[in-house]
Amino acid sequence: MASGMDEDRLLAEIERSLARDDPALDERMSVLGRQFAEGPPPEPDPEDGVEHPHGRRRDWRKIVAVVAVVVAVLGLVLTALLSGPSATVPDQAPPAGLPAAVQAAPAPPVPYA
Q: What DSSP assignment string belongs to 17-31? A: HHHHH-HHHHHHHHH
d(CA 105, CA 110): 15
Residue 103 makes CB contacts below 8 A (sequence gap 6+) with: 94
pLDDT of 56 reads 61
User: For the segment 95-105, what is each residue's pLDDT rounded down to a tens digit?
Assistant: 666 655 555 55
The band of 37, judged by pLDDT with boundaries at 50, 70 and 90, is confident
Cite the beta strand spans of 2-95 per DSSP E: 50-51, 57-58
Residue 5 has pLDDT above 70, yes or no: yes
